[in-house]
Structure 1
Amino acid sequence: MGQPFIETAGLPSTDEVEGVNPGNVLASVVGVTRPLILRGYCGHFPSVRAGRESPRAMADYLLDHYGGRPVNGCYGDASTGGRVFYSEDLSGFNFQTHRVDLRALLEDILASADTAAMPMRYMPSSEVSHWFPAFADANDAGVGEVSPIGSLWLGNRVRVAAHYDFPNNLACNIAGRRRFTLLPPEEIANLYPGPLEFAPGGQEVSLVDFHNPDFERFPRFREALAHAQLAELEPGDALFLPGMWWHHVESLDTLNVLYTHWWRDSEAFMGRPTNALFHAILGLRNLPEHQRKAWKALFDYYIFDAGDGAAEHIEPDARGILQQPLSVEAAMRLRAKLQNDLKR
């Protein structure tokens, strides 16, 4: 895959912290709002030891912990350059997904290692509890207290377009070297995101090719680069990635494996914030500008700048859904009201 067009040497490195381990990681990252590299964090994992031995040993380790259910195998030809992306007209993708046995996918990846034009081969994030039931116990990242969703991603030299995820993520680099180009949430306008409801991994991605950016088509991307930082991980390193940070991810070796742990800072009953965004698109985007500005003031007052101020003048027992924090009961009533309103 080689170096991207962007001169990565010119990007500042992500902050690194020492002394963080699975025994103290949550205390170390609570409230942290910038990415952190945790060097050697998971170097003691048996999976990391297998990966350091050889790609074949890594594949055997994964198969030893594989539950046997077919996985999603993603296949693109060499012309993609390993870039997971759309078709040229954004009507489809530049790869196909098939349900396959993990053994077949791994053999395909290993067999393609020495080919002159390497095809794209990968398994997208797959929950370990479903596909690799014994993996979590053998490779404990120490974040069970927050009940994360643990997933494995594996593939050859694949690069995933810049995107963000809502939850926080402790990403343990199990096998292969990995390069993250990280950008703060505020850079969204400079990253030219694609369609909201149709994306290669389910989450909207930047349309900019980080290996060959078209600055004529995407001129504001230069401003995004002024705020970018680089995290390069060796096997056994981990990256703490706060929710909503954009990340472009490159896998640099024959067989690359990433073990992610996603968790949110709010209760699950609060729902997905994306739902609120979609509802706002439905209800607000077509309004005249002066009305959108009026609603922006309401959102700032009740949501973004609220704190306790939006309801402090109301008697506590009368605050309803303005109570802070919102109770489970109030959230369920609000959810039921929204569901009923959307049926009209």
Structure 2
Amino acid sequence: MTEAPIEIDRAALDGHDAFRRMVVDPCRPVVIRGAVADWPLAQIAASEDGSLAAYLARFDAGRQVEAFVGDAAIAGRYQYSEDLSGFNFRRQAMPLGDAVRRIAAGSDSETLYVGSLPMAVALPGLAEDNALPFAPPGVAPLIWIGHASIIACHYDMMDNIACVVAGRRTFTLYPPDAIGDLYVGPIDHTMAGQPVALAAEAAPGDPRYPRFEQARHRAVTVELGPGDALYMPKLWWHRVEATGALNILVNYWWDAFPVGPDQPFPTLLLAMSAIAARPPAERAAWRAWFDHYVFRPDGHPLAHLPEERHGILGESPANAKMVRAHAMRMLRGG
């Protein structure tokens, strides 16, 4: 079984340096209890006196947003159609204020969900009124508002602080190396941008996903209440169930360990196009080279030479730029 996330009380994080040291650097999920319990947004959402819509209206820039809208029969379980050609919900543009009112009012005929809204664009000033002192400097939050929902198991390409503002959320986590047992769906036909783990929604023993039984016991369940937060390193799989009548989440995405302008996932896509269809023996040879130069299980590939002889493989931002420039020249045929 995958090791359960550690838990840290908000009081232990007296700034971003402590957050970096205690939460981010270990590269594993961490629960932060009470992280946003003192936010005005959290307290107003908990009041149940109808003041939430009025509070959000103070910041509403009047933008159109894209909402996921489904029939009540789907019970907020947004997913593919049976043949994966479509989805069981529709995307609908509407003013954010209308979406908030429809969500807050509840409905017996529809389920509605608005996600990944940049607060600085849709609700300017809201982030400043609800600040997270230990968040990475310069990282702008996003807000997610909806009825009860089940978001299919997926991963993020960025590190993530997910803060539960209203309702309760259950995160079911799988480590990145479970990918081969999760039966991942298409990468270019997705519900919300990221591929999903199709097997994570299947019943035990589903014959379509025999390898998932190797991953099922690795699942870790994290229960979060209003005010709690979960830090997830990039590439951790997570299924998210929101169980309140009204659910609000604010999250922060950023790359905690940048080494240059390029992101790893586009590099992966390029490697797929160049290597994946080659013969097995050649793929094995390239795997050895990737291990040696990229993943480095035995340390730096030029550790046997003095550092001044490491050339563009030297550990410096300037050398990283030279590696990138060299690769760009080769891609252009230079």
Return the TM-score normalized by structure 2: 0.89
Identify the match of residue 197 of structure 1 among 150, 172, 188. Answer: 188
Please tell me whether residue 120 in structure 1 is matched to residue 120 in structure 2: no
Give the distance between the partners of 1:307 and 1:141, measured in 2 at CA.
39
Please tell me whether residue 170 in structure 1 is matched to residue 164 in structure 2: no
- Compared with structure 1, are the counterparts of its residues 130 and 34 closer, same or farther at alpha carbon in structure 2 (3 Å cutoff)? same
Task: Quote the residue 1:242 is aligned against.
Answer: 233
Gaps of 5+ in 1: 1-9
Task: Quote the residue 2:65 is aligned against.
Answer: 71
- Compared with structure 1, are the counterparts of its residues 11 and 295 closer, same or farther at alpha carbon in structure 2 (3 Å cutoff)? closer
Identify the match of residue 91 of structure 2 among 97, 108, 113. Answer: 97
Give the distance between the partners of 2:330 and 2:68, measured in 1 at CA.
37
Give the distance between the partners of 1:321 and 1:202, measured in 2 at CA.
35
- Deviation, structure 1 residue 227: 0.9
Give the distance between the partners of 1:325 and 1:158, measured in 2 at CA.
45
Give the distance between the partners of 2:226 and 2:278, measured in 1 at CA.
51
Q: Deviations over 1:186-220 (max 9, x none)?
A: 11112111011221111110113537456222222
Task: Quote the residue 1:337 is aligned against.
Answer: 329
Task: Quote the residue 1:38 is aligned against.
Answer: 32
- Deviation, structure 1 residue 131: 1.3
- Deviation, structure 1 residue 175: 0.7
Task: Quote the residue 1:266 is aligned against.
Answer: 257
- Compared with structure 1, are the counterparts of its residues 144 and 38 closer, same or farther at alpha carbon in structure 2 (3 Å cutoff)? closer
Structure 2 counterpart SS, 1:160 = strand
Structure 1 counterpart SS, 2:51 = helix
- After TM superposition, the structure 1 stretch with the greater mean CA deviation from structure 2, 279-288 or 213-222, is 213-222
Matched to 1:106, the amino acid is: V
Task: Quote the residue 1:275 is aligned against.
Answer: 266
Matched to 1:280, the amino acid is: A
Task: Quote the residue 1:206 is aligned against.
Answer: 197
Task: Quote the residue 1:109 is aligned against.
Answer: 103
- Deviation, structure 1 residue 306: 6.0
Structure 2 counterpart SS, 1:208 = helix
Give the distance between the partners of 1:337 and 1:21, measured in 2 at CA.
45
- Compared with structure 1, are the counterparts of its residues 162 and 279 closer, same or farther at alpha carbon in structure 2 (3 Å cutoff)? same
- Asked if the contact 1:125/1:153 (under 8 Å) is kept, the reply is yes
- Asked if the contact 2:24/2:256 (under 8 Å) is kept, the reply is no
Matched to 1:159, the amino acid is: I
Structure 2 counterpart SS, 1:258 = strand
Task: Quote the residue 1:152 is aligned against.
Answer: 143
- Asked if the contact 1:16/1:39 (under 8 Å) is kept, the reply is yes
- Compared with structure 1, are the counterparts of its residues 108 and 334 closer, same or farther at alpha carbon in structure 2 (3 Å cutoff)? farther
Please tell me whether residue 61 in structure 1 is matched to residue 59 in structure 2: no
- Compared with structure 1, are the counterparts of its residues 104 and 168 closer, same or farther at alpha carbon in structure 2 (3 Å cutoff)? same
Task: Quote the residue 1:6 is aligned against.
Answer: none
- Compared with structure 1, are the counterparts of its residues 293 and 138 closer, same or farther at alpha carbon in structure 2 (3 Å cutoff)? same
- Asked if the contact 2:60/2:97 (under 8 Å) is kept, the reply is no
Question: Mapping of 1:276-315 within 5 angstroms?
Answer: 276-305=267-296, 309-313=300-304
Matched to 1:47, the amino acid is: L
- Compared with structure 1, are the counterparts of its residues 246 and 55 closer, same or farther at alpha carbon in structure 2 (3 Å cutoff)? farther
- Deviation, structure 1 residue 305: 1.4
Identify the match of residue 79 of structure 2 among 70, 76, 85. Answer: 85
Give the distance between the partners of 1:186 and 1:300, measured in 2 at CA.
16
- Asked if the contact 1:179/1:250 (under 8 Å) is kept, the reply is yes
Give the distance between the partners of 1:139 and 1:21, measured in 2 at CA.
17
Give the distance between the partners of 1:304 and 1:268, measured in 2 at CA.
14
Gaps of 5+ in 2: none
Matched to 1:97, the amino acid is: R
Task: Quote the residue 1:4 is aligned against.
Answer: none
RMSD of equivalent CA atoms:
2.6
Give the distance between the partners of 1:54 and 1:92, measured in 2 at CA.
36
Q: Number of aligned residue pairs: give it.
A: 330
- Compared with structure 1, are the counterparts of its residues 320 and 196 closer, same or farther at alpha carbon in structure 2 (3 Å cutoff)? farther
- Compared with structure 1, are the counterparts of its residues 204 and 338 closer, same or farther at alpha carbon in structure 2 (3 Å cutoff)? farther
Matched to 1:255, the amino acid is: L
Matched to 1:111, the amino acid is: A
